[in-house]
Amino acid sequence: MVNPGAARPRAATSTGARSIGRKAAVIGAVAVLATACASSASIVRDQGDQDENELSISVSGNQLIDQDEQPIQLVGVNFSGAQYACAEGWGIFDAPATHESIEALKSWGINAVRLPLNESCWLGINGVDPKYGGDNYREAIGDWVRRLNNHGFYVIVDEHHTRNGDGLAVDQQPMANRDHADDYWKSVADYFKDSPAVLFDLFNEPYPDDNTASKAAWTCVRDGGDCPGVPYVAAGMQEMLDAVRSTGAKNPVLIAGPEYAGTLRRWKKYAPDDPEEQLVASVHIYGGPLSSPYADEDRWDPEISRVADKVPVIIGEMGETDCAHDFIDKLMPWADRHGVSYFAWGWVTSPCAGEPALIRDYDGTPTPYGIGFRAHVRDLDLRQQ
């Protein structure tokens, strides 16, 4: 993430074939930088990957329910990397997609993982290296999702890095593009429609109309088309949802609003129509010196909880940009009381100086910010429910 108005960062490759992947996202007047540094990691299977869990998740009223039709709260992390490594041409993942990583994730007590993806790499288009795109990318992502499901993790897959026309998706755009988004979601949904523990997050962080929450911005998010602040024809949530449902997929679908998914104020009015009634409201919340609209806790009850009274709410990204955990120490108990799910950004390694990184290394050693998140989640005892 970068300062508002600044050029979005590009990942740089240093000596030793190491790469810095940047997940750009500014929410409202927000600036948050999350950088993952690690060598390219391939999927490694071993004898520890034999667990199997028959998980499923669906929407019932304003709750997520599991395979036993019991309410479930998803609490997890963003496993960043697959949205940028492939487009940069050095791998598919950043954090190792190994049994050791699964054990590290388990040790934190989480029950879910959000997996950011790349449009060009999934579709194998616009010049992506075939080693890291198309069939190879889809197989790697599919295998990792299956293994996470087998080990008891629910998984959200999203459309994170996109590019209209014939360019390679190396960053976030203000809206999904009509050139590729519908094809992307038809393909992703068809791939995972028989995976009942997978949820779809249609577009990571919309920010049309100069990153405002105007009527024009909300209309663009839902309907797409020619939108202010979007220099291409946008794909809206309704058409992407229609693309998902056209495959027969009944998976729950996350719908974000504008301001980098930072507001739910008009969510109910502008939500798309879903014949399966499986919509989830998505919001991203960052605190600390560089924060998002809902860093203001006075807005949680009048805006977030009112939506949570009607549909499930998932905080798809949550973080603190000062490497402390004072803010999330308030947000997480509030979310628990209201049945709101949340995913911390991110399962990435960095110095944690202004960056919401949970870990110092991929063994799962926490940063100060990560210490607060992990302690709270362990107390929830989610994996024993």
* Per-residue pLDDT reduced to its tens digit, 219-233: 999 999 999 999 999
pLDDT above 70 for 177: yes
Each domain of the chain, given as residue ranges in start order, spans: 13-43+59-384
pLDDT for 39-58, tens place per residue?
334 444 444 555 567 899 99
User: β-strand 75-78 against 112-115: which pairing, if any?
Assistant: parallel
pLDDT above 50 for 94: yes
d(CA 201, CA 305): 20
Residue 242: band (very low, low, confident or very high) from pLDDT cuts 50, 70, 90: very high
Contact 164, 170 (CB under 8 A): no
pLDDT for 321 equals 86
Contact 104, 48 (CB under 8 A): no
SS3 of 252, please? coil
Contact 361, 39 (CB under 8 A): no
pLDDT for 381 equals 86
pLDDT for 105-128, tens place per residue?
999 999 999 999 999 999 999 999
Find the radius of gyration of the CA atoms of the chain. Answer: 19
287 preceded by cis ω (within 30°)?
no
Question: Cβ atoms within 10 A of the Cβ of 161, count?
Answer: 25
Query: Residue type for 190, please?
Result: D
Give backbone dihedrals phi and psi of 109, rounded to 5 degrees, phi first. 85, 5
pLDDT for 30 equals 32
Identify the CATH number of the domain defined by range 13-43+59-384: 3.20.20.80
- Token look-up 């998914």 returns 261
Residue 33: band (very low, low, confident or very high) from pLDDT cuts 50, 70, 90: very low
CA 4 to chain CA centroid, Å, is 21
